[in-house]
Chains A and B, each alone.
Chain A
Amino acid sequence: MTTTPQDLRTDQTPLAPGAPRSGTTFLGLPTAPRGVGHLRGDRPFPDAARDALRDGQLRANLGHATQTIRGKRAKVVAELPDWQQLRAAGSALKAATMARLDEHLEELERQVTARGGTVHWARDAAEANRIVTDLVRATGTDEVVKVKSMATQEIGLNEALEAAGIAAHETDLAELIVQLGDDKPSHILVPAIHKNRAEIREIFLRTMPRVDADLTDEPRRLAMAARSHLRERFLRARVAISGANFAVAETGTLAVVESEGNGRMCLTLPETLITVMGIEKLVPTWRDLEVFLQLLPRSSTGERMNPYTSMWAGVTPGDGPQDFHLVLVDNGRTAVLADEVGRQALHCIRCSACLNVCPVYERTGGHAYGSVYPGPIGAVLSPQLTGVEDNASLPYASSLCGACYDVCPVAIDIPSILVHLRAEHVEAQEKPTAESVAFKALGRAMSNPRLWRLAQRAAGLGRLVARGRPTMPAALPFPASAWTRSRDLPTPPAESFTAQWAREHGGRS
């Protein structure tokens, strides 16, 4: 017996951002349910980040990896004179697609069906897991091979399959490392970015049956070990599960973009192929891929072209899987679509360029975000998919430096969405908090010049605490302590600039 959606959905699903919070009438669209999948962390971001920041090995691994990939991306992006036009085209295509998503999805269903595939619609993670589990069970097998996929990580498919007695083997090298190490992915593109070669060698030696005991940490040797480990699974598996980078509505084509060729093995060898895809991944026409297949590899791996692009439409008799199922997952996406500021987050093509340039991600790593979607895009996507209150610390996990917006290949204005979600969180609070009381009082003072002068004079009294020193004491009460623990705070002057100016200029403004 598998875990059913009903068992898991004991909690009331939180409302979408911006949904009317009426007591009796449910007017908001459902967000991703609690209790299934990996969109929520156990701890607020600042707490989880604190532990990550102390992990010197993690900091070194991440610093090295993000710096390398940043450099590669910058180099190949600079080669294209029309990069900004490509970004604008990507953004416009996504916005136009989202505006008529329902029509495009139905067209996709028609085309996939006409080519011999079967389309399934899943309202949320629990429904998607049930559909996939039932499909695998119907084949009579108890193991599947998996192509790297964010959607299946999001819905917690591996756990659902395991509960049904089905073993899911990750075949992407980094996903394999994470799975063998009983770990969690920490990056969209490079899930094991937090591990270095020596750590990977240790994981392989400990967990791979029949591994060469003399395995070194040389990348080639590690890849060969993974290769022989995976090869027997590719040849044995009767069912493969994939995600999709793109789906073309007009032709019913699915596309997977990868570097290793392990995805290609999964997509071609087994008898049954099940593809799980978020409903926002489609593009209306074949021609649209022209834009995205230029944007994606340069932004993600820093390559002009990715080594393997696999495309298929339905079933081709005598060639490849003879049974194809496409599972279209909502899991909160329609709720995101309903938010006119936040919906841009659905334009994401999962390149992870924003993670690689983010100064917060670079230092805390992906696990601190608690969701399979870490970094800047995760900080805007996860809270929207789950409802802001279920990921309330994530919109604040950014200094709003804007580096993410600059590199985003589809120009998602992540800083503006972060600010919007902070407001959604503040406005969802039914009771006043110490912060809201302070901000409201400060807001009143800043709207009224007379009150503001008084407030400035009060702030100037801070110099009495400093007792003649140029900086305030390091031991101040919270929240000032959060600053002074690591930084000096200048002692405020006796007189503000505007007061001094007015005095010296005889009250003339």
Chain B
Amino acid sequence: MRVALFATCLVDTVVPQVARATAALLERLGHEVVVPAGQACCGQMHVNTGYRREAVPIVANHVRAFAGAEAVVAPSGSCVASIHHQQAMVARRAGEHGLADEAEALASRTYELSQFLVDVLGVTDVGAYYPHRVTYHPTCHSLRLLQVGDRPLRLLRAVRGLELVELPGAESCCGFGGTFSVKNSDTSTAMLTDKMANVLATHAEVCTAGDSSCLMHIGGGLSRLRSGTRTVHLAEILASTEDAVSPHQTTRPAVTA
């Protein structure tokens, strides 16, 4: 299958290794990966901060960039949820019904990585090797909006060498919430503290999830505490093999100043 990769603005700009891993994984599974050059953002940050009018041209750009794609895959539950639940809505509200229809059609061909692997490609064992103790955080939008369910866990259980440890209080939000993390920084940090306590209680080396935004939040907190537990995107784990074990890990502990 020819798969168009939507890196998402955050991954593309801040953690490119997650998109590289997604591309490497899909290619290893025998699919052709294309990366439309015009892609930027799904518009979620604007919509969720109250700038729904300003989000309309962002949605238009996204629809233009992926026009004609057979299937679009993104390593993010949150961005895919926004494509499914928000893009057409903001376009329609702005009176752009043509754009809304196009966004809806594109959304029906857009998948979060674990959903694409399990539901579309029908694989749970992707042939990965990752010899680490790992705990999985179900991100809110992948859990509640996309309802990915246990798909990521099934993928992780099939990884050779990986020891999966259950995360206590897994379904509690990590406190990221986009601009919430800045506008309500104290409450966000209080939520993060409890999430980190649960992650650390598992004694996992790695905390993984399907969203780089939440991982940047959890990883940023763990790194600040010099905890040594790092955050790694699900795509990076699934892309790892005996030949290339997790070549780039998302968040390394900070260098002590």
Contact = CB atoms under 8 A, between A and B. Distances in A.
Interface of A: 45-46, 49-50, 53, 359-360, 363-364, 395-403, 405-406, 419, 422-427, 435-436, 439-440, 442-449, 452, 456, 459-460, 469-471, 473-474, 479, 482-483, 485-490, 492-493, 495-498, 500-502, 505, 508-509
B185 interface: yes
B52 A423 contact: yes
Nearest to B11: A497
B152 interface: no
Given A49-B184, A456-B13, A471 B140 contact: no
**Which residue, B51, B58, B180, has most C-beta atoms of chain A within 10 A?**
B51
B172 interface: yes
Contacts of B9: 446
B198 interface: no
B173 A399 contact: yes
If over half of B's interface residues share one DSSP class (helix, strand or loop), that class is named, otherwise mixed; here it is helix
Nearest to B171: A403
Contact of B254 (A53, A448, A470, A482): A470
Interface residues of B, number: 75
B220 A488 contact: yes
Nearest to B8: A497
Interface stretch (B128-136, B159-167, B186-194, B237-245): B186-194
B180 A396 contact: yes
A445 to B, nearest CB: 8
12 contacts: A396-B179, A396-B180, A399-B180, A401-B140, A426-B50, A442-B46, A443-B54, A460-B13, A483-B181, A488-B220, A488-B224, A495-B16
A53 B12 CA distance: 35
B144 A401 contact: yes
Given A360-B187, A449-B65, A493-B14, A498 B35 contact: yes
Contacts of A449: 37-40, 61, 65
If over half of A's interface residues share one DSSP class (helix, strand or loop), that class is named, otherwise mixed; here it is helix
Contacts of B20: 497, 500
**Which residue, A400, A439, A442, has most C-beta atoms of chain B within 10 A?**
A400
Contact of A423 (B13, B51, B61): B51
Contacts, number: 216
Contacts of B36: 509
Interface in B32-76: 34-41, 43, 46-55, 57-58, 60-61, 65
A470 B144 CA distance: 33
Contacts of B182: 479, 482-483
Given A359-B172, A363-B190, A400-B140, A486 B54 contact: no
Contact of A399 (B16, B41, B140): B140
Contacts of A53: 186-187, 190
Given A422-B49, A426-B50, A360 B191 contact: yes
A50 B190 CA distance: 10
Nearest to B140: A401
Contacts of B35: 497-498, 501-502, 505, 509
Nearest to A399: B177
B180 A400 contact: yes
B228 interface: no
A492 B175 CA distance: 22
Contacts of A471: 220, 223, 254-255
Nearest to B173: A401
B50 A443 contact: no
Given A359-B173, A485-B185, A496-B16, A443 B51 contact: yes
Contact of B50 (A403, A423, A452, A492): A423
